[in-house]
Amino acid sequence: MKISQSSGIPIYQQIADYFRTEILEGKYQQGEYLPSIRGLAKDLKISVITTIKAYEQLETEGLVTAVQGKGYYVNAQDAEMLQEQHRRKVEDALMEAIKYARIAGMSDGEVTATLETLLEFEEG
């Protein structure tokens, strides 16, 4: 995991984003524990409080559960929720692409044609 001090995104948010992605992509399975708070803080050379804040955010989102004295473990993921999370990522990425297309002066037709070409290329 790489943390950027200069990204403008709070460190706790970078940590939460990293684990959210890992969980939603299935790299952490149901019942699996996240790295210990102290261990992660030491590895990343950050405050324990920052790590706690990241894990608490994941708990608020329902992705993990805290167990007294053991740490945070991954909750079962609802397939529908996972699909919705992925759709949201696609929408975010497409909105970003549209923003750059506007900057480049591309028409809606050019954007659509580019997407169709990329979809064909990916399939073949």
pLDDT at 124: 65
pLDDT of residue 50: 96
pLDDT tens for residues 1-16? 888 888 889 999 999 9
Q: What is the pLDDT of residue 70?
A: 92
Q: Residues 15-41: pLDDT tens digits?
A: 999 999 899 888 998 999 999 999 999
Predicted structure pTM score = 0.67
β-partners of residue 33 are 73
37-95: per-residue pLDDT in tens? 999 999 999 999 999 999 999 999 889 999 999 999 999 877 777 778 778 889 999 99
b/e burial code for range 73-83 (CB count within 10 A of at least 16 → b): bbbebeeeeee
Alpha helix stretches (DSSP H) within 2-36: 11-24
Tokens of 68: 């007294």
- Tokens at 72, concatenated: 């945070």
**pLDDT value of position 40:** 96
